[in-house]
Amino acid sequence: MNDLMRPDAFAIVPNPQNETSEQVASFVNKYVSRGHDAASDVPGAPPLWGEDAVPHVMTFASLVGTFSRAYQQSDEALQDSWENARMMRNDVGIMESLEARQRMTAQLEWSIEPEDDKHYGQVSLARELERIIKRIRRFTEYKRNLMEGIWFGKYAVQNRYGWQSVNGKQRLLPTSPSPDHSGWMPIHGDKIVYRYDDGSLKREQGEYAHQMGIRTNVWNGWGKQQIHKGLPAEPTGESIVQFLTEQERMVCTVHKHFIEDADYYDPHFAGSVHGVGIRSRIYWEYTLKQETLAFLMEYLERSAGGIEVWTYPSGDKDALAAVKDSANKRMANGKNQLFFPKPIGDDASAYNLEIVEPGFAGADILQNLINEYFGHRIKRYILGQTLSSEADSTGLGSGVADAHMDTLSQIVNYDAANLEDTLTFELVKVIQMINFPETAGWHMKFKLETQTEDSMEILQAYQLAFGMGAEIPAKDVMHTLGLGQASGDEQVLSQAMMNQTADPMGMQLGIEQDGDGDGIIGEGDATIGGGMEQMGEEAEFVQQYSRDAESKEAARAVLWSRKQWRKAANPRQKRELKKAIRPLRKVIKAAFVKEQLLRAGRLDKARNLVQ
Please tell me whether the overall predicted TM-score, pTM, comes out greater than 0.75 for this model: no
Residues 144, 248, 443: CA angle, nearest 5 degrees:
65
Residues in contact with 57: Cβ distance below 8 Å, sequence separation at least 6, in sequence order:
63, 196, 197, 198, 270
Within a domain: 369: no
What is the DSSP code (8-state) at residue 3?
H
Report how far residue 161's alpha carbon sits from residue 510's, in angstroms, rounded to the nearest whole number. 52
Tally the residues of the chain. Answer: 611
* One domain for residues 333 and 475: no
Q: Which domain holds residue 319?
A: 305-357
Within a domain: 239: yes
Within a domain: 595: yes
Within a domain: 309: yes
CA 584 to mean position of chain CA atoms: 38
Q: Residue 312: what are its φ and ψ, rounded to 5°?
A: -150, 160
Strands (E), 64-126: 110-114
pLDDT (tens digit, 9 = 90+) per residue, 84-118?
999 999 999 999 999 999 999 999 999 999 999 89
* One domain for residues 232 and 198: yes
Residue stretches of the chain with pLDDT short of 70: 1-35, 218-232, 304-305, 329-354, 356-357, 359-360, 387-404, 452-457, 459, 462, 467, 477-541, 543-545, 547, 562-571, 574-575, 577-586, 593, 595-611
| Coil vs helix vs strand at 602 | coil
Region class of 101: left (phi > 0), else alpha (psi between -120 and 50), else beta: alpha
| Coil vs helix vs strand at 383 | helix
* One domain for residues 211 and 341: no
Count the neighbouring beta carbons within 10 Å of the beta carbon of residue 462.
17
Sign of the C-alpha dihedral computed for residues 546, 550, 553 and 558 taken in this order = negative
Within a domain: 215: yes
Within a domain: 364: no
* One domain for residues 44 and 139: no
Report how far apart the first and last C-alpha atoms of the chain are (Å, whole number).
111
* One domain for residues 577 and 487: yes
* One domain for residues 40 and 181: no
pLDDT at 361: 73
Report how far residue 347's alpha carbon sits from residue 217's, in angstroms, rounded to the nearest whole number. 77
* One domain for residues 176 and 253: yes
Report how far residue 30's alpha carbon sits from residue 580's, in angstroms, rounded to the nearest whole number. 72
* One domain for residues 335 and 272: no
* One domain for residues 144 and 47: no
**Residues 353, 308 contacting (CB under 8 angstroms):** yes
Q: Which helix (H) or strand (E) holds 322?
A: helix 317-330
| Number of domains the chain contains | 4
Sign of the C-alpha dihedral computed for residues 404, 405, 406 and 410 taken in this order = positive
Within a domain: 384: no
For the CA atoms of 246, 252, 255, 256, the dihedral, rounded to the nearest 10 degrees, stands at -40
* One domain for residues 224 and 145: yes
Within a domain: 285: no
* One domain for residues 325 and 226: no
pLDDT at 318: 78
pLDDT at 521: 43
pLDDT (tens digit, 9 = 90+) per residue, 129-166?
999 999 999 999 999 999 999 999 999 999 999 999 99
In terms of C-beta density within 10 A (0-12 exposed, 13-18 middle, 19 or more buried), how is residue 407 classed?
Answer: middle
* One domain for residues 309 and 256: no
